[in-house]
Structure formats: C-alpha cells, structure tokens
Amino acid sequence: MESQHDLSPEAQEFHFQQALAGEATKTFEVLEADDTHFMMLPDEVLGNRTGWRFTPAKDFQVLGRLQACWKALEARGAVIESFDTVQVSVDIPTANETPETTIEPRVVLLVHKPSDEDVQRWRERTERPLPKRMP
C-alpha cells in the first residue's frame, strides 16, 4: 500500500477531501430527521491548523473541500438551503496552559434532514426513469 508521502499533492488533497466529507456526513447523521438545522462543516474545510496557528486554505482547496462535503451530504438526502462563513472564537492552549483566544472562519450550512421515508421515496424516483406517456 502506498504511504501518504508517496502520493502527489493532488492525490493527498483528494483523500483529505474524502475524509472531510466523511466527517460531515457523520455530523449530519446525528441530526433529528424531518427538521432544518444549522450545521458546521469540519474546521479544515477553510484552513489547516498546525499547533496553535491557523493557516487559511487556498481557494481551490476550499472549493474542492466544500464540494466534496456538499455532494456527500446530498447523497445522504440532505437539502442544503443556504451556507455562510462565520467567525468563531477558538481557545487554544498555550505552553503555560492558559488558553489563547483567536478568531477563525468556519462554514455553516442550513440543512433540512428529511425523514428516512422521504429519502427512500426520493431515491426510488431518481433511480428509475419516469414512465413515458402513451400517445
């Protein structure tokens, strides 16, 4: 099996996008069915953290990560009504164990999680072609 270091940067980013999409779907799965919720995507969609420092991701990385999460959520039946970037306060522990507060961006989605029955009906409609009308 190839190690992470043997992969091209593009392949590493693709695998990272898939991992983020998996995290997003786990968060979605625990939401109450047949309701609309604000849902925060994983922190790394907009940037990366190394130790105490947050580094914004490049535009193409953000776009790919956001698309991967979006598609994975829609595949689970999510209806994404809107999204926005918000600023959140994050406490980061320092060497002397006192937290340092920073402001970082996060992506928040407004999603509707349909009931399991609604998702099943949608899957049945989209997987089968509609019948043709007889003349």
57-101 residue pLDDT tens: 999 999 999 999 999 999 988 999 999 999 999 888 877 888 888
Q: Is residue 116 part of a domain?
A: yes
Q: Which of 85, 86, 81, 83 shows the shortest CA–CA distance to 113? A: 81
On whether the pTM is more than 0.75, the answer is: yes
Q: Is residue 99 part of a domain?
A: yes
The chain-wide mean pLDDT, for the chain, equals 87
Region 120-130: mean pLDDT is 70
Tell me the residue range of the domain where 64 lies. Answer: 4-127
How high is the pLDDT of residue 93? 80
Q: Is residue 24 part of a domain?
A: yes
Q: Is residue 95 part of a domain?
A: yes
Q: What is the pLDDT of residues 12-70, one digit of tens each?
A: 999 999 999 999 999 999 999 989 999 999 999 999 877 778 899 999 999 999 999 99
CB-based burial label for 83 (10 Å; 0-12, 13-18, 19+): middle
Under 8 Å CB-to-CB from 46, ≥6 apart: which residues? 56, 57, 62, 85, 104, 105, 106, 107
Residues in the chain: 135
- How many distinct structural domains can be found in the chain? 1
CA distance 132 to 104: 52
> pLDDT at residue 108 above 70?
yes
Q: Is residue 133 part of a domain?
A: no
How high is the pLDDT of residue 118? 78
Q: Is residue 60 part of a domain?
A: yes
Q: Is residue 132 part of a domain?
A: no
Predicted confidence band at 129 (pLDDT cuts at 50, 70, 90)? low
Q: Is residue 58 part of a domain?
A: yes
